Chain A
Amino acid sequence: MGSRPPVRSREARRRWRGYVYVLPAFAFYVAFAVLPALHTAYLSLFEWDGVTLGEWVGLGNYAEIFQDPILRRTVFNALVLVVFFSLVPIVLGLLSAGLLARYRRPGMGAYRFLFMLPQVVPLVAVGVTWRWLYGDDGVVNQALRAVGLDGVARAWLGDFDFALIAVGLVGTWVLSGLCMMLFLSGVQKVDPSLYEAARIDGAGPVREFVSVTLPHLRGELAVAMTVTTVAALASFDIVYVTTNGGPGEQTTVPGLLVYRLAFSEGKVGLAAALAVVLGVLILAIVYLINRLSRDRT
């Protein structure tokens, strides 16, 4: 280190000086996000009630997560939510992009405004709203009764078969607009001559979609998958205000259980372990999505 030519060392020092600008952001980020995340990992190795002295249990808490049926169930529920938060909105988004890819689209501004609305309001408010819509006297049952389906009407959030689906559809409601807008603005960038060329080749709408539209949306697709999957796996707000995990454990998600275990059941270590599993799961899925979308380039 010390035997470098003076010119380079002065130049290097000058370049290092730029870190002065990075340091404040870095310090905040490390102090209140990175270190707590590491601290969570550390706490997950203890059995601790949050008050008295903790006891080292190594990976015991992780073993419990994979054995305990309730904990496993929450991870399963989160994966089911991925279908509604991620898969359905993406399919809807691709469908709208496929149908409208080749046309100029007047009046898009109004749609865009409406579709982004669910994105900006607090999820708690969204949950409170849907809790009422799904209730005995809510809009959902009102609509069913209006078309003569009185027998189908029920308190959706209290129903063992439908509660998770009902919560999932709230996610669909929130995220579909975002996906549609992402894909529609994505296809806008496609060169119209490509569609002309496809049509001259005799491509039908489906083949056109597969061979022209879809490949151009690869970036948007990766983004939509990442955003929606994270929203599904880390869901908390909507579940907390609509079902609080019930009935039974039908809608209990990892986030809710982390909160309950740590702060009302006195199982801080187990909560930390579950949080780590959740974090790793999210990281793995995000990595996988980005890896796959890049590979195909």
Chain B
Amino acid sequence: MDSTHRVRRRIAATVCAVALVIPLAACDALTPGSATAVPGPTSVPSSTAVPGGDVTLHLQFADAPLMVDALIAAFEKDHPDIDVEPQYKTFSDYVQNLKLTMTSDTAPDIAQYAVGMTDLAADGHILDLAPYREAYGWDKAIPPVSLDQLTAGQTSEATGGRALFGVPAGLSMTGIYYNKELAAKAGMDAPPKTLEEFEKQLAAAKDADLTPLGVGALDSGGLHLWAALLNQLMPTDEYWDWVNGQKGATIENPAAVEASEDMIDWGRKGYYNESANGTAQVDSTAQFTKGDSVFLINGNWAAGQLATVMGDNVGFFPMPGVQPGSPTVASGFSVSYAVSAKTEHPEAAGAFLDFLTSPEAGQIISDNGFMPPNPDAVKKPTGVLADIAEGHRRAVADDGITTFPDFAAPAMLDRLRSGVQKLISDRVTPADYLDSLQDEWEDHHGE
């Protein structure tokens, strides 16, 4: 019978197809990881020539969408052949999926540098850009020191010098924003010179029946506050040792205990917005613009938005030190971009990264509240942007830009986020909190 035959044949075909899949799906089971090719570090070509023809670059990022759009528009005007497609993700989605994304077949050509890139660099999933540094002369266009955060601790196989896994668009820094009108109401006439003075201002704001400090601790706002306190209390080189995974480094020290105690203490005194743990950073920023709190902990990435909405009513200062003469120390990193090893257009990607070091890009970066890597090439900013530029200048002069604590290990962001939420709600002792961080650190750095 005809239909029977057809059905049978179809069944047979399906069976064959499926039978092929089964062993394929199972064969990799024997040793996890053995089937994944480990190409080792790979690098870009050492010439700046960009082949002709239309090219589309995919760019995935997590910070400052307005700035990225402006940069892309300016770049595409200079390079009509190259089309850059931005893909924006929120920071937590971005970090959570970064490894999956960058090891997948459809990795974006260009991706924002973040935690986990170090591991990806070591496994050859992102390209060593050192040859471009020489060819394009990036060391001359921007201060070499801003490229040194991006070596992933490696030596370049292509040039023999320092490796390079990203190019910075803007430099970032966290600190405290203040609502000038509300601050005056609380009796504050100038930014605090010391941590103690800042605490007095928080207390004064509380006494004036205002919410002193806005924190968006649902995602990373809380850890920025903790890191800002830690920066003032813990010697900077010890902190660097810990973040970099130096043997014997520990976060279980008196300074970190004190920073954690301060956070608990501020919560007990009611300095934070009531629903800090349920508020995302973007929401805390929006609430601050509405005058919900006197101060706000956030990074310079919020400055563009704050300046637009609040105009002259907003100011910024880095978290003050213990003594009036203490160095300015603040957490910051660069919003940098790395190039995927899977890209088919490393030359076009190189051209885009080179554009980021140009004065034209620097101006766009500065207008969006970020510090361009080459501050001399741009117009002097005004208002809150000037406060930030000044704070950053002081921190750089004091060698006081530290990286964010979540760079210490891939899982550290989760430990910090949940741990700081507990500090805010007075649900953990400093010792237990720091112990959980150190456990994670030892887990990753193998002690």
Compute how far the CA of A263 lies from the CA of B102 in the bound complex, rounded to whole angstroms: 12
Partner of A247 from the list B98, B99, B422 (CB cut-off 8 Å) is B422
B145 contacts the other chain (CB 8 A):
no
A1 contacts the other chain (CB 8 A):
no
Tell me how far the C-beta of B154 lies from the nearest C-beta in chain A, rounded to whole angstroms: 16
Closest to B413 in A: A264
Q: Are A54 and B25 in contact, CB atoms less than 8 angstroms apart?
A: no
A283 contacts the other chain (CB 8 A):
no
Compute how far the CA of A269 lies from the CA of B14 in the bound complex, rounded to whole angstroms: 33
Closest to B116 in A: A264
Closest to A45 in B: B32
Compute how far the CA of A269 lies from the CA of B417 in the bound complex, rounded to whole angstroms: 24
Compute how far the CA of A126 lies from the CA of B248 in the bound complex, rounded to whole angstroms: 47
Q: Knowing A36-B25, A264-B97, say if A51 contacts B36 (CB, 8 Å).
A: yes
Chain A 4-47, CB within 8 Å of chain B: the 1/0 string?
A: 00000000000000001101100110111001100100110010
Q: Are B21 and A31 in contact, CB atoms less than 8 angstroms apart?
A: yes
Tell me how far the C-beta of B94 lies from the nearest C-beta in chain A, rounded to whole angstroms: 10
Tell me how far the C-beta of B75 lies from the nearest C-beta in chain A, rounded to whole angstroms: 30
Interface size on B, residues (CB 8 A): 48
Tell me how far the C-beta of A56 lies from the nearest C-beta in chain B, rounded to whole angstroms: 9
For chains A and B in complex, what number of residue pairs have CB atoms within 8 angstroms?
138
Q: Knowing A20-B11, A27-B18, say if A39 contacts B29 (CB, 8 Å).
A: yes
Residues on A with beta carbons closer than 8 Å to the beta carbon of B33:
48-54
Q: Knowing A30-B22, A53-B33, A248-B427, say if A265 contacts B275 (CB, 8 Å).
A: no
Residues on B with beta carbons closer than 8 Å to the beta carbon of A269:
32
Q: Knowing A27-B18, A247-B418, say if A154 contacts B275 (CB, 8 Å).
A: yes
Closest to B24 in A: A31
Compute how far the CA of A54 lies from the CA of B32 in the bound complex, rounded to whole angstroms: 5
Tell me how far the C-beta of A145 lies from the nearest C-beta in chain B, rounded to whole angstroms: 14
Compute how far the CA of A36 lies from the CA of B25 in the bound complex, rounded to whole angstroms: 8
B123 contacts the other chain (CB 8 A):
yes
B15 contacts the other chain (CB 8 A):
yes
Compute how far the CA of A48 lies from the CA of B29 in the bound complex, rounded to whole angstroms: 13
Interface residues of B in 179-235 (CB under 8 A from A): 217-218
B343 contacts the other chain (CB 8 A):
no
Residues on B with beta carbons closer than 8 Å to the beta carbon of A48:
32-33
Q: Are A35 and B26 in contact, CB atoms less than 8 angstroms apart?
A: yes
Interface segment, one of A100-108, A112-120, A157-165: A157-165
Residues on A with beta carbons closer than 8 Å to the beta carbon of B1:
none
Partner of B96 from the list A136, A160, A264 (CB cut-off 8 Å) is A264
A155 contacts the other chain (CB 8 A):
yes
Interface residues of B in 21-46 (CB under 8 A from A): 21-22, 25-26, 29, 31-34, 36, 38
Interface residues of B in 399-447 (CB under 8 A from A): 410-411, 414, 417-419, 421-422, 425, 427-428, 436
Q: Are A265 and B414 in contact, CB atoms less than 8 angstroms apart?
A: yes
Compute how far the CA of A245 lies from the CA of B422 in the bound complex, rounded to whole angstroms: 13
Residues on B with beta carbons closer than 8 Å to the beta carbon of A260:
96, 411, 414
From B97, B276, B421, name the one whose CB has the most chain A CB atoms within 10 angstroms.
B421
Q: Are B18 and A31 in contact, CB atoms less than 8 angstroms apart?
A: yes
Chain B 50-75, CB within 8 Å of chain A: the 1/0 string?
A: 00000000000000000000000000
Residues on A with beta carbons closer than 8 Å to the beta carbon of B97:
263-264
Residues on B with beta carbons closer than 8 Å to the beta carbon of A39:
25-26, 29
Residues on B with beta carbons closer than 8 Å to the beta carbon of A209:
none
Q: Are A159 and B277 in contact, CB atoms less than 8 angstroms apart?
A: yes
Q: Are A248 and B123 in contact, CB atoms less than 8 angstroms apart?
A: no
Tell me how far the C-beta of B274 lies from the nearest C-beta in chain A, rounded to whole angstroms: 7
Closest to B124 in A: A51
Contacts A27-B22, A35-B26, A264-B410 known; 19 new A-B pairs at CB < 8 A: A31-B21, A31-B22, A35-B22, A49-B33, A51-B103, A54-B32, A54-B33, A136-B279, A158-B277, A158-B421, A160-B277, A160-B422, A246-B418, A247-B218, A247-B425, A264-B98, A264-B99, A266-B99, A266-B410
Q: What are 21 pairs between A and B in contact, CB < 8 Å?
A: A20-B11, A24-B11, A27-B14, A30-B22, A32-B25, A46-B32, A51-B123, A53-B33, A54-B32, A155-B278, A158-B218, A160-B277, A245-B414, A246-B277, A247-B425, A248-B418, A252-B418, A260-B96, A263-B96, A263-B99, A264-B116
Where the two chains meet, the residues of B that have a C-beta atom closer than 8 Å to any C-beta of A are 8, 11, 14-15, 18-19, 21-22, 25-26, 29, 31-34, 36, 38, 92, 95-100, 103, 116, 119, 123, 217-218, 274-279, 410-411, 414, 417-419, 421-422, 425, 427-428, 436
